[in-house]
Structure 1
Amino acid sequence: MEIINTIIGKNGFVFAFLCVGVIMLISFWVSKHVTNNKIPGVAISIIIGLSLAFLGDEKGISNITLFTGLALLGGPMLRDFAVVATAMSADFSKIKQAGLAGLVSLLIGVFISFSIGILVGLSLGYTNIESLTTIGAGACTYIVGPVTGTAIGASSEVIAISVATGVVKTICTTIGTPLIAKKIKLDNPHSAIVYGGLIGTTSGVVAGLAATDEELVPYGALTSTFYTGMGCLLCPSLFYVILRFLASPHISN
């Protein structure tokens, strides 16, 4: 066992790929033989991964010596590289066809998520503008929340809540996308572009579309990436000012 631990410790990144491969193998077997392909294998693997992460602490199970390589494999560097790399297979002509729809979906998506986030903040008992704006931004994505909270001076507690809100949204998107794809006709590049603009959380959209149809990933990733940038632009500026103007007579500072 000591020899095995030493070998794995020196090759943690390679062992992480092996772990993911085993999980994928099991997931696709379960998908084929247990669910009769009604639940995609990728979706099952995502659920298994989230379950394993839940068993660990703030870094999942990567704090266990045997699984330290998962911290790098699942870290932001490789995640962002994978998201950016998806643009290589996108068809520009199809992106142009969804130009206006993509832009409208971005604006609607950011606004709706922000509004829902405000309702979440109110339900948690927060009444000041800074806190509500930060939680609303977190409902856009878990990146927009901290950016907005830092910009407008929200407390660290509220920023943490905004991140948690965004993470919950990502998890729901990841698991829910392949389950509702047929019902909402998410089966072509145009719908994927609109879907990415409406939902916005890049990690969730990419993972969900990968479990649905890998060819749709570049299109959903395109607008969902812009979504984060638009949220970082609008939430701490225009949305914050509008919220102060509309709610200041009714909500305490």
Structure 2
Amino acid sequence: MIYTCIIIDDKRHFTTLLEEYIAELPELELIKTFHDPTRAIAELTAEHFIADIIFLDIHMPHISGIELAPHLKKKCKFLVFITAHAQYAVNAFDLEADDFLYKPFKIERLQQSIKKITGHTTPAVQENTDNDFFFIKISGTQSKYLKFLYSEVIAFESDKNYIRIYTPNDCYRIYLGINEVEKKLAGRNDFIKVHRSFIISKAYIELVENNMVVMKNSNVQVVIGKQYKASFFAYLESHKF
């Protein structure tokens, strides 16, 4: 089945990326992109067609996605909010949005969203296998490197000028800053920062209770930092049943 889509977002660099994602997924067909929300509401309310999915930015000039949403719900089967501002997540779900995508996101996150809202699985997009692992140079040596699979990393923890890398079988203390880890993880969708000292793997989250995240296959428990709470709970909301 083909799902028709409309994008409403004033940020052209992002709509270009989302258009590329949609073009790669054979289940999706882009009808139109609007960069002006006032033009979008004028055209969509005047015309009689209905799209399957509308991807709607929240923070836009003149009129916000939150204000647009009630007018657009009847123009689509599924409404998906997209924004870089996690504090809007609660408002999005109050308006009965079908999903919430937190920018920036990768094509795999878009696939998850389509599967969630439609119940249809899109074909997997193959990634370069070089993205599955990384090497850490052992300090004090000239040519000794330790290989890690991203899929086996439970968490990265900052410890002054070092980081601890937790895996199911061990914990490694490496001379490296947490900022360098963040740069390396930029663009990946399988890790999330929940505290200024902790970046955790989404796959290893076992339990979230109040402000505590418990990671499976380890003794790692992390208190969610105040400045990361909104984005983390937005992520949880977007993946709940």
TM-score (norm 1): 0.25
**Normalised by the size of structure 2, how large is the TM-score?**
0.26
Indicate the structure whose relative CO is greater, using CA pairs within 8 Å and at least 6 residues apart. Answer: 1
